[in-house]
Amino acid sequence: MPAKKKTLLHRFLIWRYRHISTKNFVLILSVFVGFCAGLISLLLKNITHLIQVVLESDIISWQTSFYFIIPVIGLLIVYVITKFIIKKSPKSAIPLILYSLSKKDGKIKPLSGYLPLLLAPITVGFGGSVGLLGPAVGSGSTLSSNLSTLFKLDTKTRFLLIGCAAAGAISAVFKSPLAGLVFAVEVFSLDLTLTSLLPLLFASVSSIITSYFFLGDEVLFSFDVLEKFDIYDTPFYMILGVGTAVASIYFTKMYFGILHFFDRFPKKIHRLLIGGFAIGVMLYFIPPLYGEGLGFINDLLNGNHLAAIGNTPFDNMTSNIWMIIALLIGITVFKAIAMTATFGAGGSGGIIIPTMVMGSALGNVVSKIINNLGVGIQVSEANFTLLGMAGLIAGVLHAPLTSIFLIAEITSSYELFVPLMITTAISFIISKNSIEHNIYTRELAEQGLLLTHDKDQTVLTLMRLDDCIETNFIAVNPEHSLKHLLSEAVAKSNRNLFPVVDESNALLGIVKLDNIRDIMFDISLYHKTTVAMLMTQLETMIIYEEDDAKKAMQKFQDTGAWNLPVIKDGRYYGFISKSKLLTAYRRKLINFTR
């Protein structure tokens, strides 16, 4: 059966090469990828909703009394699945994609990519304070990667189809095709050219049509802009921009700080218990932290802050607006903690929706403070709620254009375009200057593996040293005589340098042909001169396990050398020549930019 399948695939590929150009085939695949990304997003949403419906039914009558236990149960289920069934821990979806783009040619292992389809709905459905959008992007991107490999497409096309999956997921969830397209360009550092624009558009349109087909006109956020831009509100937009920037910095630092705290516990069950208990306590006092929090955002947009806050131990004080503001500040502060605690405890999910929840609370807080200062100034709380979401997305994800188009498409209006630009620009600039890399990219950037819009740096990141290493050099020992060097190395090699190694193959130095030309025909020195007397030591070497193409290029630039030895596992492995490295760079650049 496998042989037959292989034959059918082979026949299809031959037929495709003959009848469909690569350009048109990519467009067809982009439509299919968008359709699948839309289905994946809907599948995640429906599974999660089903779990929540079961938990809210009479089947579990003790839910209200023991509200804080539910997340622990969900995390325990995830723990059992990953520990005993799948035997693989979940990874954050988008960082996994970014790593695969930089070091794996965009190839994503199916188990790693599709695992969130199972684990994320369980985590969120049982109250984990994370989102479903990241897993949707991850699973869709995995499908794109697998399809690209199946149909023998090149690396650049695989990158593009992964971007199509991301654009499709965003489009399906928010019904915002432009935001999906821009997200793929900003987060995955895709080049926005005509070649890439059409597939991204096709994927976004296909995904949003899929969403309309299954959900009709139902939208995630239902809101119409009633209060338009007022020039006199500009200072308040600027204040909100500064506030969202500070919140973005807090969000990012809290994220890495809490994860570092959980790393102190080697056993996952200990992380689960600590994280689950912490989440339960937070949910007991602040119920809106439960799950994604989309209902919380909608209640704020509709002006119903009491419904947004829900039942809390402070219900007898909610008639005081300043108590409402304090509770909303609590949501702003603790959403980042609850989200990260969910990850630290072993849960699976994304950070985009939690970012929006935190931003909506902050924006609403700022507007309520302005409106209740007693100075006669009134601003739109709904508009500020939207602007707060945009500011947090711009600050946390470093994606200002995505945030602008997302909110503009959610409102089906460009009335807030100027306030959006003001708030997101300030938030992005401050947060970017304070924290250079966002949550998705920080770890990769520290390892030198991050792809950016800088083509030179991106090409160097994509290059592999293995493609540049040459191993056909004849090695000699330091005790060898000049005669042995000439007869066994120089005479049998077309190279002009020879590595000198000891018995364990550790590199001691090199002998250059230019350095022995004056004595190579002096027979009287054949037995008196040893390799140890002729070799020169090298201070700069390329360490296989530590250096990448970028570092290797820098070492050539610093030393002015034409050849540098490569050390692998502490032993001599081969040489990289500057010409070989530059040739590989040129080829990769051509393939990447054509």
Average pLDDT over residues 423-438: 94
Q: What is the mean pLDDT of residues 532-549?
A: 88
At 455, the pLDDT band (50, 70, 90 cuts) reads low
Taking 70 as the threshold, does the pLDDT of residue 5 lie above it?
Answer: no
How many whole angstroms separate alpha carbon 432 and alpha carbon 208?
32
pLDDT tens for each residue of 215-231: 776 666 666 666 777 88
pLDDT tens digits, residue range 181-202? 999 988 887 776 777 889 999 9
Summary mean pLDDT of the chain: 87
Q: What is the pLDDT of residue 449?
A: 63
Per-residue model confidence (pLDDT) at position 218: 64
Buried b (16+ CB within 10 A) or exposed e, 19-35: eeeeeebbbebbbbbbb
**What does the pLDDT read at residue 227?**
73
Q: Among 265-269, 312-316, 399-403, whose mean pLDDT is lowest?
A: 312-316
Asked if the model's pLDDT at residue 405 lies above 70, the reply is yes
Q: How confident is the model at residue 456 (pLDDT cuts 50, 70, 90)?
A: low
pLDDT given at position 318 = 77
Residue 448, pLDDT score: 65
Three-state SS string across 255-313, please? HHHHHHHHCCCCCHHHHHHHHHHHHHHHHHHCHHHCCCCHHHHHHHHCCCHHHHHCCCC
Pairing of strands 563-568, 542-543: parallel
- Residue 59: per-residue pLDDT: 45
The β-bridge partners of 499 are: 510
Given a cut of 70, whether residue 8 has pLDDT beyond it is yes
Location of structure tokens 């004056």: 518
Which domains are assigned to the chain?
20-215 (1.10.3080.10), 231-452 (1.10.3080.10), 459-593 (3.10.580.10)
Q: How confident is the model at residue 451 (pLDDT cuts 50, 70, 90)?
A: low
Decide: 402 and 184 in contact? Cβ < 8 Å.
no
pLDDT band at 590 (very low <50, low <70, confident <90, very high): low
CB 549 within 8 A of CB 465: yes
Residue 200 near residue 164 (C-beta atoms within 8 A): yes
pLDDT reading at 58 higher than 60:
no
Please give the full DSSP string across 461-497, using - where no structure is assigned: HH--GGGT-B-----B-TT-BHHHHIIIIITT-S-SE
Tens digits of per-residue pLDDT, 559-571? Answer: 888 899 999 999 9
Q: Is the dihedral of CA 381, 387, 388, 389 positive or negative?
A: positive
Q: How far apart are CA 133 and CA 268, in angstroms?
A: 25
| pLDDT confidence of residue 528 | 87
Q: Give the separation between CA 54 and CA 60, rounded to whole angstroms.
A: 8
Share of the chain above pLDDT 90, in %: 48
Q: Which two tokens stand for residue 160?
A: 């593009």
> What angle do the packed helices 400-410 and 381-397 form, to 10 degrees?
150
Tell me how far apart the alpha carbons of residues 517 and 538 are, in angstroms, rounded to a whole number.
Answer: 20
Stretch among 9-18, 82-91, 417-426 having the lowest mean pLDDT: 82-91
Residue 586 confidence (pLDDT) above 90: no
Question: What is the mean pLDDT of the segment spanning 143-172?
Answer: 92
pLDDT band with cut points at 50, 70 and 90 for residue 454: low
Q: What is the pLDDT of residues 347-380, one digit of tens each?
A: 999 999 999 999 999 999 999 999 999 888 889 9
Q: What span, in angstroms and rounded, lies between the C-alpha atoms of 124 and 131?
A: 7
Least confident of 252-261, 396-405, 416-425, 462-471: 462-471
Average pLDDT over residues 502-529: 88
CA angle 539, 545, 550 (to 5 degrees): 70
pLDDT over threshold 60, residue 427: yes
**What confidence tens digit (pLDDT) does each residue in 204-214 have?**
999 999 988 88
pLDDT(64) > 50: no
β pairing state of 571-577 and 563-568: antiparallel
Rounded Cα gap, residues 34 and 162, in angstroms: 10
pLDDT of residue 60: 46
Q: In angstroms, rounded to a whole number, what is the distance separating the alpha carbons of residues 91 and 305?
A: 35
Looking at residue 543, its pLDDT comes to 92
Tell me the C-alpha distance between 181 and 197, whole Å: 8
Tokens 């020195």 belong to 525
